[in-house]
Amino acid sequence: MPSYKKIFENNRQWLEMRKASDPHFFEKLAEDQNPDYLYIGCSDSRVAAEELMGVGPGKIFVHRNIANVVNTLDMSSAAVIQYAVEHLNVKHIIVCGHYDCGGVKAAMQAKDYGLLNPWLRTIRDVYRLYQEELDAIPDIEARHRRLVELNVFEQCFNVTKMAVVQESYLKYQTPEVHGWVFDIHSGELIDLHIDFKALLHKIQHIYDLTGQEWYRPSK
């Protein structure tokens, strides 16, 4: 069977499996979505959010693009975050990168990628911010892995800069922003342990869009 048609056979088998385990599965699925998580990840076909997190349909609101970039001039990612926070009331926003990321590797090359150049520039800007640290890493693969992690961190910064995130956190104490990396070689999901409250406090003086104090660190 051609691979394209095989997809529909897979879908038929999936339907049967779901109905067998829960006859009302699709009735409940069609009611509404109420996910606690917004997952912002890479478009890489090897990294599926639901599978690596071990959850089923309806549990995660997902946005994916090349190298899990959150560019506040990108209407797609901005609209997803706005919708997830204002209308879905997500409790957590996760930026998840992965090792062996083609977008990050491309950004490390002195090469013209045509239409990809403006997109990769965001990652190259991350390299510029941490150039001294990165250039001190002699092994190219280790350097790439570190840039993956730093890119996640900076995209978490970009999420935190958004007015909708600041305003929601000030009012409801949610969402919190998290940075993860998926190790594609081992299957391990790595929490970078970003201190979201400390991050808010650190950038408050420059990126405060609310005119109110979001977070006062405990003495």
Model confidence over 149-159: pLDDT tens digits? 999 999 999 99
Identify which of 22, 211, 213, 174 has the alpha carbon closest to the alpha carbon of residue 93.
Answer: 174
Give the amino acid at 55. V
Round to whole Å and give the CA distance between 51 and 178. 18
Residue 33's pLDDT is what?
Answer: 85
92: left (phi over 0), alpha (psi -120 to 50) or beta: beta
Residues 17-42 have a mean pLDDT of: 90
Catalytic residues: 42, 44, 46, 98, 101
- Is the pLDDT at 61 greater than 70? The verdict is yes
Residue 218's pLDDT is what?
Answer: 46
Segments in the chain forming alpha helices (H): 3-21, 25-31, 49-53, 75-86, 102-107, 117-129, 131-135, 140-160, 163-172, 196-207
CATH 3.40.1050.10: which residues of the chain? 32-201
Round to whole Å and give the CA distance between 97 and 160. 17
- Is the pLDDT at 4 greater than 90? The verdict is no
Residue 213's pLDDT is what?
Answer: 61
CATH class of 32-201: alpha beta
pLDDT band (50, 70, 90) for residue 219: very low
- Is the pLDDT at 1 greater than 70? The verdict is no
Most confident range (mean pLDDT) of 43-47, 138-142, 207-211 is 138-142
Which tokens belong to 4?
């394209």
Residue 146's pLDDT is what?
Answer: 98
Identify which of 155, 169, 171, 172 has the alpha carbon closest to the alpha carbon of residue 200.
Answer: 169
Q: pLDDT digits over 93-123, tens only? A: 999 999 999 999 999 999 999 999 999 999 9
Q: Nearest 5°: phi and psi at 137?
A: -95, 110
